[in-house]
Structure 1
Amino acid sequence: MNETKVKHTIKRMTEERALLIKNNPFFGHLSMGLQLACAPCQTACTDGSRLIFDPAFAEKLSDQELQFVILHEVLHCVFRHCIRGKGLHSELYNIACDMVVNSTILAMWGLDSMMIAGEEAMHLAPDGKEGREYNAEEIYQMLIHQNHTNRISQMQSRPNHTNGASQMQADQNNTNGVSQMQTDPNNANKSSQIQTDNGKSEKSSFDRHDIWQGICNKIQLQDSWNKKIQSAFRQCGDSTGMPQHVRTIVQDIARRSGLNWKQILHDFLQSDTYDYNFLPPDRRYAFSDFYLPAYNMDEEHQTADDIWVCIDTSGSVTEEELTCTMAEILDAMRQAGLKGSISFFDSNITDPEPFESENDLKDLTAQGGGGTSFHIIFRYLKEKLYPNLPRAILIFTDGCARFPDEKEAFNVPVLWLICKGGNADVPWGQVIQL
């Protein structure tokens, strides 16, 4: 490869990652977990550890397209596409993965479509819905079914031939090809044309996935990305100014990446113990052309106490949801060391009751049943608790009420835990859908 082109490509990749860190810290943070590299791979790819571009391909991309492809590779890692798909036909699975990833990026950028190196990034599942509404395996099954259906339609539209028996046998063998691809690992690298309803063939045009088959220690790679996602969510998941639709995607990624809310809670409660300092710089990013702050944890602050838990007991919250909420809190006490005080609220709020043990929790009696007001929580914070503010506020709710301004929280971190099926469109704070 031409050394000048390699240096120029690395420089552009570094610049685009810097823009990601500035404009979208969560994904920028994750992109920093991939080492930059160049190789004559014709397009771009990742093995979960490296972000690899062919300089000749990078030359064809605008800055926006280059950033799109960087995000594309990052999301393959986030969604574990690199280590999934065992026993599946590689080309079908690759297409399914790309539909999920491209659709996610388009939603994040607020776009309906995107051209990459002159071709539209495929993002619609075979049923016409956005790929982000499914996981890769679900889309893969749609593609299997679609390809099978198209082949049968082609058989039925053919004219009769004198050698009908032979033709019937050939067609039968042809229709069996799709199911054979699904079960025969020897077919993993064979080329196939995937026919869509409009008769066009789909293929991945701007990255390749065959490098995934060379990943040996998949468990280690998965653990590595678990930590990277948790770190990014902790440090950037509630970044100031993050658009709501991006915030929702970030939270969904954390959920789909295998993080339960107790893990996120633990990180959330520890997030204020970090001390950022540019001296020395974070050595994890030493290969970069710019510095990022290192951080050190204060070992004296490892507890999860002094947390104010507010539980929605309004009429819209069912008895079953309330029971599940109390069970979740009990579980959080065991897993994350949750301690503090609990209030119940509807249009009014009860005085905080301290809890440190399971018995304290069992002795509490829920009160409420009226309408829902989140304002009442922060009014109590201002009038009754200030200046002795809690370390953080956890609000269990179905989200069915008007939200106050963020400034009413007096900079106290707020974690909204939304019941299953509740309104997760929360304008500020950190949000987890239970």
Structure 2
Amino acid sequence: MSEVVDTKLSAARTRLILERPFLGALVLRLPLVEASPGWCKTTATDARSIYYNAEYISALTSKQVQFMLAHDALHCALSHFSRRQHRNRHRWDVACDFAINAMLIGEDMVPPDDVLYLKSFDGMTAEEIYPMLDEDDDRETLDQHLYDNHDDTSDSSDSELDASDAHGSGTPNSGWGYSGASGRPPPLGEMERNSLETQWQQHLAGAAQQAMQAGKLDGAMARMVDHFLQPRLPWRMMLAHYMTARARDDYSYLRPSSRRGSGAIFPSLRSGQLDVVVAIDTSGSVSIDEIGEFVSEINGLKGQIRAGVTLLMSDQEIVGEPVRFEPWEPMEVQSELIKGGRGTSFNPVFRWLEQQDSQPDILLYFTDAEGKFPADPPQLPVIWLIKGRGCVPWGERIQLN
């Protein structure tokens, strides 16, 4: 069986290199290691190697073997091992599989039976899919993801770092492959995780460049690569940048009191309070937890830059009454106002702004951008904080995930 499996794996890699050079270049970065009996039922990766069950590989067709090799290589190239952050490990693994399988099936690759696939997830990243999955989702990934602590199912990555430290220094393995006598490889240490993330970003860029030069990278795969290679700042950093720029101290030429010296007017530095309107899309596409995280960030920023905030909840119309929070007052969201299930129109918020006696300094709109926009932009800065890939016709767009 060993020779048959080796031949099948070699043939699958060769076909990928010839027919799909982008995926083939990524697969070549990973040593293929036969897993010791017992722990690997199909295939697995730890971002260092691809591990496989010989009996499983022998039962697959050549095209299905190509699919599994490409699947595990994409987990590594897209840095799924370092993007989980606070998320539940099992739910994150399922989201990653949905994202990758949709890409490969979209490229007309042939999957084995029982892969996780929903057409509604086509074109979506794991971060976008994750909140759409049930918290107690019991679906299983076809392959195994070995970068985290095997028993970690919490929303914290602390345990995985502790576990990896127990296996050694956490430095990269010299050959990338793990060949320890115990069989199943240990999870990644923090230093190794960071090092591998950098290396895989370089490999992703290099593989994409080679494939584009060969004219064999286009469509959804090309858009995916472009998305992950774009330099991106964390949304909190970008939001803080925009808000602090608006709140910058300025000079005033107001006439001083007549009791203070001559009548000459000199510019004096003043620091005014920023007036912010925050609108939240409550149509149901944004979860209560995500809204809470967003409000928490605004709450922290408004105290630092002396901003008063008016909070609006809206879907097809403004829900409830606008609530005003001064810089020293903590913001709270009334969860009963987050109804969900209705469509989105952005017009009510902008009509409300037009009816006010004075315009705010800035509008922050938290949404998935799936709705009806006003034809013309308002006469004030608008920052859209977008969950998903929705586009906006005007204003500054910040990608949340």
TM-score range, shorter chain: 0.3 to 0.5
**TM value normalised by structure 1:** 0.40
Which structure has the highest helix share of the two? 1
